[in-house]
């Protein structure tokens, strides 16, 4: 783990939507380790309670579906009431599965768009008057926002929308509220990659294309979130930070062809 100053987030309050597992739980855990009071939220109350227990005795585990504005508003209000005004809000809830467009019902497409895109809007819209400014908001997006990918039409459309939510709110809510995104590459040990690369062959194919030649670690996403919420990022808003080993720059698999020519 990269070292940030102990107590960097002492006195801060963080709310992480989708923070009950995976990448977002890693961010929540890091914020708590640096001194913040942290609330995490997902649909499953038992999973939320387990996540809060793992983060620490002070953490709050809550249940709300980000597709339901009233429910996520209620969870944010609860965090505000228990911990005080919110300094950091992460919108990270997402759903995904591999399916071709012709194998996807209208409701299947809508389900992912509603969780990822509407859920990000709801989380940010509902938190605004509960913030302690200057505040930092982070949405977790993905490379599919910019690069179309087969079997991912729902996630591509949803995350492209998330990127524009980030940029629009950075304009509307500045200067007191900074709004940024993190776009992770394939991250080891996550539900997302268990779904998108469910066998060793698919994993190897992914790795081959990444300039860094490996999947990322949850801690590397937590590093980026810590940076974006720290004063070191005080002049950064409306940015989408790719933490993807260079995947978004280009396909490193092409190097094999280039080597053959050189």
Which is nearer to ligand NAP, 161 or 184 (by Cβ)? 184
Which is nearer to ligand HXC, 88 or 215 (by Cβ)? 215
99 binds, among ligand HXC, ligand NAP, none (CB under 5 to 8 A by kind): ligand HXC
Q: What is the DSSP string of the chain?
A: -----TTTTTT-EEEEETTTSHHHHHHHHHHHHTT-EEEEEES-HHHHHHHHHHH-TT-EEEE--TT-HHHHHHHHHHHHHHH-SEEEEEE---------GGG--HHHHHHHHIIIIIHHHHHHHHHGGGEEEEEEEEEE--GGGTS--TT-HHHHHHHHHHHHHHHHHHHHHTTTEEEEEEEE--BTT-HHHHHHS-SHHHHHHHHHHSTTSS-B-HHHHHHHHHHHHSGGGTT--S-EEEESTTTTT--TTHHHHHHHH-
One residue of 4, 35, 77, 108 binding ligand HXC per CB under 6 A: 108
- Give the binding range for ligand NAP (CB under 6 A) out of 5-13, 102-110, 183-191, 231-239: 183-191
Contact 116/155 with Cβ under 8 angstroms? yes
Quick count: other Cβ atoms within 10 Å of Cβ 87? 22
Contact 121/70 with Cβ under 8 angstroms? no
Interacting positions 106-135 with ligand NAP (CB under 6 A): 115, 119
One residue of 195, 208, 213, 214 binding ligand HXC per CB under 6 A: 195
Which is nearer to ligand NAP, 11 or 45 (by Cβ)? 45
- Give the binding range for ligand NAP (CB under 6 A) out of 81-89, 102-110, 171-179, 184-192: 184-192
Is 102 a binder of ligand HXC (CB under 6 A)?
A: no
Separation between Cα atoms, residue 218 and residue 190, nearest integer Å: 8
44 binds, among ligand HXC, ligand NAP, none (CB under 5 to 8 A by kind): ligand NAP
- Give the binding range for ligand HXC (CB under 6 A) out of 28-36, 84-92, 96-104, 233-241: 96-104
Mark residues 56-95: x for contact with ligand HXC by CB under 6 A, - for none: --------------------------------------xx
One residue of 93, 127, 157, 165 binding ligand NAP per CB under 6 A: 93
Contact 222/26 with Cβ under 8 angstroms? yes
One residue of 36, 130, 142, 243 binding ligand HXC per CB under 6 A: 142
Is 43 a binder of ligand NAP (CB under 6 A)?
A: yes
Gyration radius of the chain over CA positions: 18
Residues that bind ligand HXC (CB under 6 A): 94-97, 99, 103-105, 107-108, 111-112, 142-144, 155, 186, 191-192, 195-196
Residues that bind ligand NAP (CB under 6 A): 18, 20-24, 42-44, 47, 65-67, 92-95, 115, 119, 140, 142, 184, 186-187, 190-193
């Amino acid at each position: 783990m990269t070292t940030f100053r102990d107590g960097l987030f002492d006195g801060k309050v963080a709310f992480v939507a989708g923070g009950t597992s995976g990448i977002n739980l890693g961010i929540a855990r890091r914020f708590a380790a640096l001194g913040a009071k942290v609330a995490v939220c997902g649909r499953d109350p038992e999973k939320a309670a387990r996540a809060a227990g793992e983060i620490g005795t002070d953490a709050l585990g809550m249940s709300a579906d980000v597709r339901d504005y009233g429910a996520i508003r209620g969870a944010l209000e609860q965090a505000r009431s228990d911990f005080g005004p919110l300094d950091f809000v992460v919108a990270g809830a997402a759903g995904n599965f591999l399916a071709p467009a012709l194998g996807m019902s209208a409701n299947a497409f809508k389900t992912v768009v509603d969780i990822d895109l509407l859920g990000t809007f709801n989380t940010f819209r509902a938190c605004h008057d509960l913030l302690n400014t200057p505040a930092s908001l982070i949405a977790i997006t993905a490379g599919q926002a910019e690069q179309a990918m087969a079997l991912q039409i729902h996630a591509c459309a949803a995350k492209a929308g998330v990127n524009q939510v980030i940029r629009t709110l950075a304009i509307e809510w500045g200067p007191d509220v900074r709004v940024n995104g993190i776009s992770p590459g394939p991250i080891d040990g996550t539900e997302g990659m268990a779904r998108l690369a469910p066998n060793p062959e698919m994993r190897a194919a992914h790795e081959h294309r990444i300039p860094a030649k490996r999947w990322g670690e949850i801690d590397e996403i937590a590093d980026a979130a810590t940076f974006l919420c720290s004063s070191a990022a005080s002049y950064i808003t409306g940015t989408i930070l790719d933490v993807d080993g260079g995947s978004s720059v280009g396909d490193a698999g092409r190097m094999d062809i280039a080597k053959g020519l050189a």
